Amino acid sequence: MVRASGLRGYPALMRSLGFDPVPLLSRYHMAEASLERDDALISLRSATHLLEASAEVTGCGDFGLRLSTHQSVDVLGPVSIVLRNAPTVRDAVNDVIRYLFVHSPGIVVSLNERDPIMKDTVAMSIDIRLSGSVAMRQNCDLCLADAHNFMRLFAGDKYELRAVSIPHEPIVSHAVYERFFGARLLDEPASATLHIARETFAADVHGANATLRQIAEDYLFRNFGAAQGSTSDRVRQLLRQTLGTSSNDKSSIAALLALHPRTLQRRLAEEGTSFEILKDEVRKALALHYLRNTRLAVGQISLMLGFPAQSALSRACRQWYSLTPSDVRGGQCDVSVCEGEAKG
């Protein structure tokens, strides 16, 4: 899966080229409205197919490069706050490697300090991990272009890109790539790689705030854990992102984890829990947060938590806290006690 922010700017780009984005989005089971929710999850495979089809329909072989001009580091959501506040460019890249799974576990960034192709450079490579034979030219170009733009943002005038490698035959001329990246496109196909001068990584990130970085890292740890967390941790993460949508039942969550529902059930049982218990825990914690820290209407909170009606949230609050939602919001439940109960 990938956050919907990965396709930010897609409808606008299609319309600027004179094409309606809706038919292609529908073909790959996406709604334009879903792309407006940056934290919504969409299929990485479907997004990859969409970009390939869009390049073909529009006749723009550089569709992925063009889409990157509609994006910024903010497509990475909370991860972007950590990156913007890293002390150095190297720290920012290490944070990308550490936290990119929050955006998509199927997109992986790596560094090779001894670039096998060029001297005095570090190879920053991007790998899109999809099983089977999938054309990934446009998504590959998009990811590489985004990485280039992010590095330019972090390093400023200290950014020195020496060359670029792509894993496919160029669809457009070398000149198009070289004009975009401002560096030579190497002739031999290789992994999607930016060959960057070693000195770039020592550059300071302008305006970095250590306190803000720590707050953002704490948020990522609390809400997403580690990339290789337990099955229950990963289920909790997906439930937080899908509550209130049609994709938060056991079968849908199992599909997001590429597991059969029975396999998911067995793994959770081995960890001493169940899907139903985890869903109730996540709802309980989010209900407390929304009631105590926002002014959202109780009916709206009910919908966000995936309850069929406001009365269902009222029943749940009575079960959790022996209070109504209004009582919880009004402070009749001691915060420390409620939070302890909300954590299960």
Per-residue pLDDT at 116 exceeds 80: yes
- The pLDDT score that the predictor gives to residue 12 is 97
Query: How far is the C-alpha of 237 from the C-alpha of 101, rounded, in Å?
Result: 12
Q: What is the pLDDT of residue 344?
A: 45
Please name the CATH architecture into which domain 2-202 falls.
Answer: Alpha-Beta Complex (3.90)
Question: In the predicted model, is pLDDT for residue 264 greater than 60?
Answer: yes
Q: What is the CATH number of domain 229-342?
A: 1.10.10.60
**Per-residue pLDDT for 226 more than 70?**
no
Residue listed under structure tokens 């990963």: 234
**Cα distances (Å, whole numbers) of residue 199 to 90, 115, 154, 168, 282:** 10, 14, 13, 29, 45
φ, ψ (nearest 5 deg) of residue 116: -75, -10
CB 283 within 8 A of CB 242: no
Question: Is residue 332 very low, low, confident or very high in pLDDT (cuts 50, 70, 90)?
Answer: low
Cα distance between residue 66 and residue 122, in whole Å: 26
Please give the single-letter amino acid code of residue 236. R
pLDDT of 334 over the 60 cut: no
Give me the mean pLDDT over the 296-303 stretch: 86
Q: Who's near 6: CB < 8 A, 6+ residues apart?
A: 42, 47, 75, 103, 104
- Which has the closest alpha carbon to 328: 275, 77, 337, 111? 337
Give me the pLDDT at residue 227, please.
58
Q: Read off the pLDDT band of 259 (50, 70, 90).
A: confident
Position 165 scores a pLDDT of 95
* Tokens of residue 92, six digits: 């920012």
pLDDT higher than threshold 70 for residue 87? yes
Residue 158: per-residue pLDDT:
96
pTM, 2 dp:
0.70
pLDDT on residue 338: 53
Q: Does position 337 have pLDDT exceeding 50, yes or no?
A: no
Angle (CA) 204-177-114 rounded to 5° is 50
Supply angle C-alpha 102, 3, 101, rounded to 5: 20
Q: What is the distance between the alpha carbons of residues 309 and 307, in angstroms, rounded to a whole number?
A: 6
Q: How far is the C-alpha of 196 from the C-alpha of 164, rounded, in Å?
A: 9
Q: What is the DSSP string of 69-129?
A: TT--GGGGTHHHHHHHT-SBHHHHHHHHHHHGGGT-TTEEEEEESS-SSSTTEEEEEEEE-
pLDDT at 134: 86
Q: How confident is the model at residue 335 (pLDDT cuts 50, 70, 90)?
A: very low
d(CA 63, CA 162): 23
* pLDDT value at residue 117: 86
User: CB-based contacts of 156: which residues, under 8 Å, 6+ apart?
Assistant: 203, 206
Average of per-residue pLDDT across 204-230: 82
Domain spans of the chain, in order of start: 2-202, 229-342
Identify the weakest region by mean pLDDT among 41-45, 252-256, 308-312: 252-256
How are beta strands 161-165 and 2-3 bridged, if at all?
unpaired
